Structure 1
């Protein structure tokens, strides 16, 4: 792998807003320089990719770092680099360039930092390894950033693995990452310089004519998403039409779709029960709720598109047992509720998942979001308690439930549910603090009418530590325990993750392997159906009587 340990640190981020004399011609000059290209590829005509490249080139120029320098930095173990640009869609577009080999000078294998484990570096570095193996994190506008404590833990794991880390961000990076970064590359905003340079390259227009047209149009380019450029800037499109499209996009055309809800909810909490007409589509958050979302520390996750290969659903996830059955029943009931044929009180919408670490409780929440095709609001008791002061703790708890009601239908996932604890005698130390936390949880979980359209899933490693009243009817009345997977469940899990590669893996096993022979003979590994679910994981269920 290129690069050496102990490579010199890059220059710190420039404090100036833009480099002197930096215009569209300068940007295009950077792209046409003698610097080694990341990948020998034909010119990119996707305007969103071109603009992203230009933002990256500007960030490198400001930091006085070449592409070669960047490659050497990523060839060094445990390097942390942030790449920032205040442009919606930049994070995803930059990671696509990384995956396509257009960012670093060589082949790249990228893995999300949340999936990295301490042993990842040794496992990933094979004889056929790519030139770069990089851990990544993408922070997008509109996302709720997780607490610094979460990033601190993940950052520690990535650093112990020895992998370099690339954090691509459209927003201010978490404090712990900003302080730890070896280089902060800042591409600035999506401004007229970047848009003009993109038009010159993609549309082959004369630079002076483009800048004059943009100056006369007086566009608010801060309202553009990177993806919008692929619509407005295309080869062969007349400049006048391109400017007209940009005018429409920057004048609020995209916001018209949700303006009705926003206008109705800007002054309030946006937490009224969903009307029948709203039950089938996600509800837009009001400005007040968007602010509350940021204050709550919760993370809003949208369901993955049905045609996305990364989509994981309850139907395709093995080893869930009774939890899978509950989810599929809920899917059917939710459809009836959305059609107005079933009251929310008749829907089994509360579930407490328990089991040892690594049994898939958190993965289940993401899969449930995709199966139901509704948003997931993910939080944890440690997020509630993060700020310490009782008033702040109760405020975060309330905010999470209010946001979930505003998003309905949605899934509210509360991890580390045992952290709520149990009510204790008032003669105990800090009894008033912990009793207030438990009582607030009981209040928020009390009654389905107040949380119509909200599926509430809790996860815990220690169900016996949860306040008994939280497991009674109307709250987490349904409890499913997921044990460590048995041999058959493990085989199904391996088959699920290997997918089409399963047959090749089996073929590479020693010909007289008794374990392999027995597994195939017993039907534990089904080559013909690699994504078959395992319903025999041994999961157990308990449910208190419902009214």
Structure 2
């Protein structure tokens, strides 16, 4: 059976991981006094090349002479007690046979050149004894860590799915300065991919990762293994690229390409966002793969824990386990030798409930103020917290994430229960139907009306509408305002706050991004109207960035934008053009019918008692129909209803 490219790359990457594991094992044994390291110059063509030769000490030879007892002592000395080679997974074991066969072939070839003198025969016996000792030592090699193995499996899938085949890939990878984009939507992939590069686990070289753009690199690993000759590569994180202006990004790429010698460039992206056009056009190679799935996870458990794939697959399917919430750090913590498949899957289930709605783009998502994540393994609304409570989103204090209340909960604020919103309510109803079609793949996102500007006098209920829309559509509400963006004052920090708001919206999609007080941006046509004469460039930069991000969000499926203002006439006209906030709805003050519905909504079951306490009048004839007052009620009669009567504590003011 012909080996597919994915399997071939998987075998190669696992061999790289095993090579580093053997090196670490030898160094650990040297510290424990079991090996001696002798460094010598191999005389490479490019200069001095130092290579280590490892030889067993007398102590190691003595332990091996004790048989099984000596091996047990050896395992304790190395800290690997309880981990035996016979528990290694098939993929992990298969890396030992080719290497052992190659060593034996080299040994036989060298032996044929050695004379048959007694001295040479003794040297051969000593060499054979040392090789046997090193082979026994390698049996103590621990099972591999989950994170680098997961990175290897994901990269192998990305390479194997490339339509060009191996020959096309090899021709690009052999270039001295390739520009490669790797897109794998798994939280934490960027950082762990950088670690694997630095440790020489992806290509046969130790790498030094330089940031293409400052503070936008893929790894914070540092030089954990000093003294290694490293090749340099320029890197950039896909999660950070949207925070960089197109001009700055083009300039950085141009400087790298025109340097001498030009370095390789690698962009690693763990998000689902669209990358800038300049990236996609300039890249020599784009490798893409899906995220974690049951097959990949079962293979990971086989390699790292020796668990049979059929066993783990059956358990995951039985539990209906989903994996899109998992971070590679989660795999590193949970997938460890000695754990059963039931323990691992149970841990993943607990994380699913805790993080299914809080996917990690950064490492601090879902943490409290101290940076530590809540320890509860159940959703917040099951542990006593209200689902509508505000929670600050990681990476930006300018955005508050409000979760929708369950659709079957009592007294849920929904657009359907509001009165007086007219066109806005009709827009929300249509959007709900279209969103269901989009989720089922029956409607393209570009066909949805997903941009709305609400205007009206203060206190008319624009924020309330956004909250109700969150519950109607059953998607998160990401609340922010221009005033929060401007708290930073300095232009660079303000732009970062604006970028962060749209980034958070993209990470939580489908979601509603609600931007309040958008009139604070003003218009580029007249800086004097804002009272900031002489700072037009500052405000123009802000408006241009908001326009650019709205355009990008329009192309990003799942992001609904609702903006609110009291003064629509102060907005820049470009904000209202097609593809931006093209649907403008003015919310008027409530009329009699709207006031009647509002009072009925707030009073609820208390309405009948309120009517009973109303002053008697010949002209007052009000009854309750379907939770609302009869529309025949006159304004004077409605005003006589004691509106200070206590309503349910869960209800809020509608306007």
TM superposition score normalised by structure 2? 0.37
TM-score by length of 1: 0.44
Higher relative contact order (CA 8 A, sep 6+): 1
Higher radius of gyration, 1 or 2: 2
